């Protein structure tokens, strides 16, 4: 057994416009791109460290380097479940391993996990927080989209949503409060929001205050985001939420995301799959989860000024299957962007 070689690149992807949520704003996506090589094949993946969970670019790099010393050419994604907690670090290594194994075995990842070839799906389009007028104008621009995700804090919630609903009356909406509401605010706003085509509300309360939702019968399904990381969380979430948002940077990769998906379906949760702000490479493994989701929010690449080579094709809200060169394809698909990140010694 030989050790795996690991390369980590901190990459910065400028956004097309400022992206603002209840916790603050950003103008670029800071991601870690991880490459794993067995000496013959190279797999790669992207993860987004998230400060909400105490992660930074440097801390996640250290976790990855510490863990990869324990990996060999015989390691599998399942091995990582014992080596790292659910995190961006594990996500990067898990998805890079899946890509590496797909190339080594000359089978696409969807074949390795026993799934059919992915189909086109409809993704939400995201509006970040702004003034009432700005959000209304932004909603008008995408009023033809069937599903719009609205980032909100706890200020002018009904006023903003009334303006957005008026601007896009045929669209359905997901509201993402990012833990910014109180229980009293949620109860007060639910009846009015239900009249504005709001189909789902993500994480209205801080994760530590979930108990307030016990026995609430909301007019709109509530979706656990910050409160849901892995399948171990489902027992606690039952009776509090009706839906769960599966994000690979929270589950720690595709392996646990698949386990969470199956467990959540058995428990009767509505399935949503979401993302951090990142490139098409980060969306690629999540697209496999999207095949089973009632709500898909994988528009991260649309927020970028420029995406990767072999990016997902988008036709308005329709997210078409990725080119196999991007991620998870067999050994016949090469990506010159991936090769450009390798030192010369790997190319000789």
C-alpha distances in Å from residue 73, one per residue of 2, 88, 158, 253: 6, 22, 55, 19
> Residue 281 in 3-state DSSP?
helix
Instruction: Render pLDDT for 197-251 as a digit per residue (tens, 0 to 9).
Output: 999 999 999 999 999 999 899 999 999 999 999 999 999 999 999 999 999 999 9
Distance CA 236, CA 112 (A): 31
- The predicted model scores a pTM of 0.96
Which pair of tokens denotes residue 122? 């409809």
Q: C-alpha angle 99/105/111, rounded to 5°? A: 70
Instruction: Render pLDDT for 154-202 as a digit per residue (tens, 0 to 9).
Output: 999 999 999 999 999 999 999 999 999 999 999 999 999 999 999 999 9
Task: Check: CB of residue 271 under 8 Å from CB of residue 241.
Answer: no
Task: Indicate the domain borders of the chain.
Answer: 5-106+330-346, 121-319
Q: Which phi and psi (to 5°) does residue 171 adopt?
A: -85, 155
Instruction: Render pLDDT for 101-155 as a digit per residue (tens, 0 to 9).
Output: 999 999 999 999 999 999 999 999 999 999 999 999 999 999 999 999 999 999 9
Beta-carbon count within 10 A of 158 CB? 12
Task: Check: CB of residue 228 under 8 Å from CB of residue 237.
Answer: yes
5-106+330-346: CATH number: 3.30.390.10
* Residue 333: predicted pLDDT: 85
Q: Which CATH superfamily is domain 121-319 in?
A: Enolase-like C-terminal domain (3.20.20.120)
């Amino acid at each position: 057994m030989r050790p795996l070689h690991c390369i980590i690149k901190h990459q910065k992807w400028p956004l097309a416009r400022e992206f603002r949520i209840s916790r603050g704003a950003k103008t670029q996506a800071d991601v870690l791109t991880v490459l794993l090589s067995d000496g013959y094949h190279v797999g790669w993946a992207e993860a987004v460290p998230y400060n909400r969970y105490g992660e930074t670019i440097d801390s996640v790099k250290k976790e990855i380097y510490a863990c990869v010393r324990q990996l060999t050419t015989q390691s599998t994604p399942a091995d990582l479940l014992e080596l790292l907690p659910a995190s961006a670090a594990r996500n990067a290594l898990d998805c890079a391993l899946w890509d590496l194994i797909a190339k080594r075995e000359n089978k696409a990842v969807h074949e390795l996990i026993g799934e059919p070839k992915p189909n086109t799906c409809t993704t939400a389009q995201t509006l970040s927080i702004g003034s009432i007028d700005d959000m209304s104008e932004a909603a008008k621009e995408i009023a033809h989209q069937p599903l719009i995700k609205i980032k909100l804090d706890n200020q002018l919630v009904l006023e903003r949503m009334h303006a957005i609903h008026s601007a896009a009356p045929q669209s359905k909406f997901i509201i993402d409060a990012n833990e910014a509401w109180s229980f009293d605010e949620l109860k007060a706003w639910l009846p009015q929001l239900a009249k504005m085509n709001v189909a789902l509300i993500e994480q209205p309360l801080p994760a530590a205050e979930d108990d307030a939702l016990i026995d609430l019968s909301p007019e709109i399904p509530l979706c656990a985001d910050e409160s849901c990381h892995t399948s171990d969380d489902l027992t606690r979430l039952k009776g509090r939420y009706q839906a769960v948002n599966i994000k690979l940077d929270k589950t720690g990769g595709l392996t646990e995301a698949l386990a969470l998906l199956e467990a959540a379906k058995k428990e009767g949760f509505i399935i949503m799959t979401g993302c951090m702000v990142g490139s098409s490479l980060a969306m690629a493994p999540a697209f496999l989860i999207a095949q089973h989701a009632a709500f898909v929010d994988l528009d991260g690449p649309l927020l970028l000024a420029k995406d990767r080579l072999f990016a997902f094709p988008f036709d308005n809200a329709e997210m078409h299957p990725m080119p196999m060169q991007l991620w998870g394809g067999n050994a016949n698909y090469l990506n010159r962007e991936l090769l450009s990140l390798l030192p010369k010694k790997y190319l000789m």
